[in-house]
Structure 1
Amino acid sequence: MPAAEPPAADPAEIVEALRDAARLGPFFEIGTDPAEEADPTWRPFPETDRDRLAGLTDRYAERLGTDERRVAASILFQGLASRLWSPVVAVAARGIVPDLSGLHWRWAPGAPVALWLADPRGRRAKDARDAAGLVHDAVVDGQLRPLRDAMLGFVRLADGLLWGNAASALAGGLNVGPAEPGRAALVRELLAREPLAGTGTFVRGRFVRRSCCLYYRVPPGGEMCGDCALLPRR
């Protein structure tokens, strides 16, 4: 017999859980106010308009001071992955996984990425493994894969780099807010699943990736990130 579908969560619980997660900081915020529907600046996310995404990437490159589109695209992908993982993992660690099919975004280079969820819905998860499956479906398959496909339509980036960025963004969320065993367990479950599996490992409790996001190429000489594979390790 096929596995039973996880039970639905009450929409009010989804809204409350997202509101609680937002207290961790702006990267954990997803708005749910239905009045936002009247704002025409919201766009469905993931962004699949390649021309628009390419234009935003080029403007972001200008802001970074680089003429390498792939550098800007890599850093943008990682930033968007972080904005997705942070609130969803925080909420999922409490046993509720939001449905992101109604997710919208609003962003211009230099401004924070705003997210808004129309018609909040979701599922209940009984444990970290169950939650990881639901989060993987929502974030990796529903959001990051389409975003990756759109970006690869105008820039060349290796899959190892992109999924390394996604893994780094996922693990990096653990550095924000109080240590929570539930979040840590969920992150490790997700990192064990393709396409994140093998992108890095935990060394003395901190994630170290096996690829580089290219931030070091941002002029006048971008520093390496704390989890970069290029950093010497003792």
Structure 2
Amino acid sequence: MQTGGVVGEGVADLLGEVAGLGPYFEIVTGAAVGAGWRPFPDDEWVLGATVEYGERLGTGERRVAASILFQGLASRLWSPVVAAAARGIVPDLADLRWRWAPGEAVALGLAEPRGWRVEGVGEAADLVHPMVVDGHLRALRETMLSFVSLADGLVWGNAVSALAGSLNVGPSGGFRAALVRELLGREPLAGAGAFEADGFVRRNCCLYYRVPGGGMCGDCGLLSRNLR
């Protein structure tokens, strides 16, 4: 991949600033990422986290729990990367680690954060798309398919919903919004959702309505226009 140059200095500080936008934007860095952290995704932990999500949500449907977990993890991947790219650096997630334990929130981490300087939206998308989609989301999808059935439309619908939803936190104009739109136009995300006059709409549903007390999300493809 042709980039504006690999950088190490300042990446941890940038990720720290981005983390201030909210928990889904946080990537832990440095010495804190050590024992007890595993490469992302880890088959055993993905299954364990899915089971726990099902218990938290009160659903016995594993596919529902897996769907919602996938969307949450996708949000944790997209959000910090897109926000950092808008500030000129795409963080390198090749050595991404994660930590999960029953009763605890998922955490993502980079022991030695590095990245690439970028200037244009296309340049950033050329780095972000293969890194997040091919490097992590496809692997997460394959891990989940080993123990639950998830339709491709649902999986990539969750991915685009998480990507578009990242714009709902913090300043979303200019570069950041343009990058999200560029990424949404690339396979396998293309066609899974789009920005319309009344906001972003995905083409299917994450199944949250099947959770006891749940409902349809604001971008759900099952919602009629007059309810959106």
TM superposition score category, shorter chain reference: over 0.9
Which residue among 167, 174, 196 is the counterpart of 1:174? 167
Match of 2:216 in 1: 224
Paired residues for 1:20-169 under 5 Å: 20-33=17-30, 35-37=31-33, 39-47=34-42, 49=43, 51-108=44-101, 110-169=103-162
Which stretch of the first structure deviates more once superposed, 63-72 or 125-134? Answer: 125-134
How many residue pairs get aligned? The number is 226
* Counterparts in 2 of 1:230 and 1:205: CA distance versus 1, 3 Å: closer
Deviation at 1:177, TM superposition (A): 1.1
TM-score of the superposed pair, with normalisation by structure 1: 0.91
How far apart are the structure 1 equivalents of 2:17 and 2:81?
A: 12
**Distance (Å, rounded) in 2 between the aligned partners of 1:209 and 1:8:** 35
Which residue number in structure 1 is paired with residue 178 of structure 2? 185
Distance in 1 (CA, whole Å) between partners of 2:5 and 2:127 is 12
Structure 2: unaligned runs, 5 residues or longer? none
Q: TM-score, normalised by structure 2?
A: 0.94
**Matched residues in 2 for 1:134 and 1:179: separation?**
20
Structural RMSD (CA): 1.5
Aligned partners of 1:16 and 1:205: how far apart in 2? 36
Query: What's the % identity of the aligned pairs?
Result: 65
Q: Secondary structure at the match of 1:12?
A: coil
Q: Check conservation: 2:7, 2:117, Cα contact below 8 A.
A: no
The answer to whether the Cα contact below 8 Å between 1:9 and 1:96 also exists between their aligned partners in 2 is: no
Give structure 1 stretches of 5+ with no counterpart: none
Partner of 2:189: 196
Q: Deviations over 1:184-212 (max 9, x none)?
A: 00000000000100001112262100010
Offset of residue 17 of structure 1: 1.7
